[in-house]
Amino acid sequence: MAGRAATSSAKWAREFFFRRVSSNPLGATRNCSSVPGASSAPKVPHFSKKGRILTGATIGLAIAGGAYVSTADEATFCGWLFNATKVVNPFFALLDAEFAHKLAVSAAARGWVPREKRPDPAILGLEVWGRKFSNPIGLAAGFDKNAEATEGLLGMGFGFVEVGSVTPVPQEGNPKPRIFRLSQDGAIINRCGFNSEGIVVVAKRLGAQHGKRMLAETSGTSSSSGEEVKPGGKSGPGILGVNLGKNKTSEDAAADYVQGVHNLSQYADYLVINVSSPNTAGLRMLQGRKQLKDLVKKVQAARDEMQWGDEGPPPLLVKIAPDLSRGELEDIAAVALALHLDGLIISNTTVSRPDPVTNNPVAKEAGGLSGKPLFTLSTNMLKEMYTLTRGKIPLIGCGGVSSGEDAYKKIRAGATLVQLYTGFAYGGPALIPQIKEELVSCLERDGFKSIHEAIGADHR
């Protein structure tokens, strides 16, 4: 085992150094309105002095890893790689927030991130919408907006990854700067405004990934029929969600979402209608009872009129804001139940500024707040929605998750699945196995034998 791991590490190191030397470090940052046909991997932005320090640290880790792996088995080395990212991750805090984001996506797209080789504990596995999830921890939309790095992100051990929001026509979003860190509060404020490369580019990338998986299956490199079916979806191991948005200048929101369904649903394990971003004028008005009902009906009809195989159409979810009143929540729950919506994501970012961020000068920036200060607000709303829907609709808990205990609280409040984003931005890849390990401990501590047993436990 150690010999195979050493060989694998040496091969990885050679490929890593070759890529670093052969790539062009002086390439300009890609504009958000790239033309269709662009490369699936983002161009690496120009490296500043801080960027060169980050590169040097990464190379140092590669060298150290090559030396260490010769004495370790694959699982041990895998754990070492994830822990090693704790050394690199602080360097990202020295960079501009959006630049650091682009760099992280670029690294994941090129495979310069650790890959989880250890199987998830059986206690974390669950089935939702007929899809098998190896674990309930997912990456929320907003990180990989243009489906550039899905393989690398799923490979890090997320149970599912949600890309987007994707708009029909490419748009640059709001003016920069538009991402602001509140590091001491574990929070971020963003007002990106659905910056997207558009449906055509994203469809091409997802189509290529889908084709790659189909080729692997037909060539016999995937699991044989005699083996147990592994959790996974259309993009390969792990489940892929596609989050749909509308263009800023669009006068027909429903037409935008329908276009997204027609072009992207064949590659998605589930679809999300995003009507809750605070950074697109008028978008949150679509959460009103009549508006939401009309919108969901049109999107469901567009999905159902397409040709589907034995698996059927992808589930359709709606992502809602955390700033809704009790009456508004009741309206959304009524629509969800009446139209048999497949799920709700609770929640998006907040326009409020909960304690302790109120005294932070950065809190005055316009935009949606995410991270630790959002946890209580979003979790309380999750509890309310679980009660209003009587536990009949799968809920995805999102907002302020940065530990296994946080994820566990979301599940007990009514979440079937859990997403994080800001916690991942601050904690890096090492946070993923840490959250899963802590979640297992929480379940075992309270006597639960599965995730399903813990869902909504606070209501019983």
Each residue's pLDDT tens digit, 116-137: 999 999 999 999 999 999 999 9
1-37 pLDDT, tens digit per residue, is 444 444 444 454 445 444 443 443 333 333 333 334 4
Report pLDDT for 367: 96
List C-alpha distances in Å: 256 to 148, 247, 251, 273, 376: 22, 7, 9, 10, 33
Residues 432, 124 contacting (CB under 8 angstroms): no
Active site residue 402: no
Catalytic pick among 9, 196, 250, 277 = 277
403-426 pLDDT, tens digit per residue, is 999 999 999 999 999 999 999 999
What order of strands is seen across the sheet that includes strand 179-182?
Answer: 179-182, 187-190, 368-371
Asked if pLDDT for residue 192 goes beyond 50, the answer is yes
Q: Please report the sign of the dihedral spanned by the C-alpha atoms of residue 66, residue 72, residue 78, residue 81.
A: negative
Lowest mean pLDDT among 14-18, 194-198, 290-294: 14-18
The mean per-residue pLDDT over the stretch 151-156 comes to: 95
Q: Who has greater pLDDT, 233 or 221?
A: 233
List C-alpha distances in Å: 374 to 162, 200, 332, 380: 20, 34, 21, 10
Strand pairing category for 160-166 and 239-244: parallel
The mean per-residue pLDDT over the stretch 382-399 comes to: 98
Location of structure tokens 């320090």: 53
